[in-house]
Every structure is written in structure tokens, then in C-alpha cells.
Structure 1
């Protein structure tokens, strides 16, 4: 499944685009709207993006896990060499490696909790100025249909990108953008 990113100038335009997409047969759970006024989105019964979608917790946690795997191997090797010949060396090495991996994963998640999701980082300034971003999860068979529908009915919606709906820990910038309250 691919995700198409659309920039719209305000919440009213985003609401119109969401209604168009829903009428075209896209389920509401596949339409994610990012805007700085969550209360206005709730009043309009729009599918407001969840905090998991807004924050980079999962993505940064996955990066932390990758770093943690390397750190776990390094810590386990060092302890194995330092405690060579001791009868509990294997158990201590495995435990220390698991602690190192868990800490790195936790730290990555905490860093991600204070950062924008890597998919919406490029649109941070647009959202902060009152604009809206719609990310539509599209099955491969409906991709051209959605592109044509949005281009025909909402030419003001700028198609700004394409991404995968599966998190890729190496995608995005390695310098996370600090999340500011919109």
C-alpha cells in the first residue's frame, strides 16, 4: 500500500477533499489529516491523525532497536572477553546485551516522542501556518483512480509526495525535527 501526500491551504479545503475521497470509495481509516487545530477537526467530524501518526515514536524506536542490536553485540563481546573463564559469562553477556538493546530502543522512542513523524516533517512549516496535509493510503489497484479524482475535483490540492505505508527505519532525515505545539 502506498501513501499519497496532498497539501491544502486550510481546513475547509481539506474537509472538501476528504468528503470527495470518501465518496470515491476510500475508507475513512485510510485518510489521515494533519492540521494544527484538532478541536476544529473534531467538530467537523474529520479523521484526525492520531498522536502515533504525528510523532516519530515507532520510527525512532525502530532506529533505536537497530543501534541497540549493534550495542548489544558490542557489550556482550566486551563482557565475554573481560569475564573469560568465569562460569556465568554466557548468562551475564546475554543479560547485558539485552539491557543495552532495550535501553537503545527506549531512548529512540523517547527521542521520537519529541519529534514530528518523518513523513510529515517536510510539511511542518505548512501545518504551523494553518495549512492541512492529507495522507491517503491507497491500494495499488486504486492509485490512478485517486490521483485522477484529486487532480480533477481538487486541483488546488498539491500532490507533494509518495511514501510506503510500512515504516522504514532508515528512511527520513537522521536529524529529527523537534515537534512544536501547533
Structure 2
């Protein structure tokens, strides 16, 4: 998947982009809009970004779960190997400690992530804070991405392309 980023100054422009994307064959679920205040975006019946897209909750939660599982596996393995209470512990201790630490890590990562801005959007926050709107369009194929770029160049010169990501994923 490829994600295209555009910045425009007015909500009317965003609404026109949404209509033109629909005509081009890109449904509204493929366009996300980030504004300083999401209220006007929602009232305009546009697809405003969610907390999952604005913050690092997915990325940090995933990393927290990954490192938590690794730590839990090491702790569980150490407990089984050391026999801390003088008797052999079952391998289920490894499974339990891995699952517990994975969940705990995901929780901690989520807490950190919800308080951090999405690193994918970092270059565009200044424009958003200045009152502009960031329009993100997800294209499944290169052909679809070229259609979007062509439509934006022809019909929406007021919106400037500020970037794109190939192979976009919230987990990286």
C-alpha cells in the first residue's frame, strides 16, 4: 500500500478532494483528514483521523508486546532452569510468564504510544498546527496511486503534495 500526503488550507478544498476521489474510484475509507481540530472535519462528514492514526499507540503497543514476550520468555525459562523453590517447575510457567509479560508490555507500550504523536506524521504537524489540513490517501496499487496523483495535479492545485510512503504500515 502507498500513502500519499497533501496539505490544503480550507475545509472546502478537502470536501472537493473527497468528492473527486470518489469519482476517481477511491472510496472515502481510503482518505483520512487530520486537522488542528477534528470537530469541523467530522461535521463536514469527512473521514477524520482516529487516535489509532494520530498517535503511536499501535507501533508502541506492538513493540511493547514484542519486548514483553521476549522478556517473559527469558524470565520463565530462568525460573524453570533455576528451580527457585527446590522443585522443578512445569513448562507452563514459561507460557504464563511469556503471555503475562507480553500483555503487560503491550499495555505499557500503549500508554507511551497514546501520549506520542505518530512518527509517520511528524513532518506535517507544523502545517496542521498552523491551521491547514493534512489529507492522506491510501492507494492499494501503483496504478491507483498514479490516478490519485494525476487527479490532484489536474483539479486541486491549491493542495500541495508534501510526501508519500511506499509500503505504509502502522507497525513500522
Residue of structure 2 in register with 1:174 after alignment: none
Residue of structure 1 in register with 2:149 after alignment: 147
- Of 42-51 and 128-137, more deviation after overlay is shown by 42-51
Deviation string 1:12-32 (CA, Å, 9 cap, x unpaired) is 332222222222221011111
The 2-side partners of 1:28 and 1:17 are apart by 10
Contact 1:2 1:139 (8 Å CA) reproduced = yes
Residue of structure 2 in register with 1:116 after alignment: 117
User: Quick check: 1:88 aligned with 2:109?
Assistant: no
Residue of structure 1 in register with 2:169 after alignment: 166
Shift of 1:94: 2.6
Aligned to 2:32, what secondary structure does the other structure show?
strand
User: Quick check: 1:49 aligned with 2:49?
Assistant: yes
Q: 1:101 to 1:16 in 2, by over 3 A?
A: same
Aligned to 2:113, what secondary structure does the other structure show?
helix
Which consecutive residues of structure 1, in runs of 5 or more, have no partner in the other structure?
172-182
TM-score w.r.t. the length of structure 1 is: 0.81
Residue of structure 2 in register with 1:37 after alignment: 37
Runs of 4+ aligned structure 1 residues displaced above 3 Å come to none
Aligned to 1:72, what secondary structure does the other structure show?
helix
Deviation string 1:76-104 (CA, Å, 9 cap, x unpaired) is 23212321772324232332222222211
Shift of 1:61: 0.9
Task: Indicate the RMSD between aligned Cα atoms, in angstroms.
Answer: 2.0
Aligned to 1:7, what secondary structure does the other structure show?
strand
User: Quick check: 1:75 aligned with 2:75?
Assistant: yes
Residue of structure 1 in register with 2:15 after alignment: 15
The 1-side partners of 2:90 and 2:43 are apart by 60
The 2-side partners of 1:10 and 1:115 are apart by 26
Residue of structure 1 in register with 2:6 after alignment: 6
The 2-side partners of 1:93 and 1:71 are apart by 11
Aligned to 2:137, what secondary structure does the other structure show?
strand
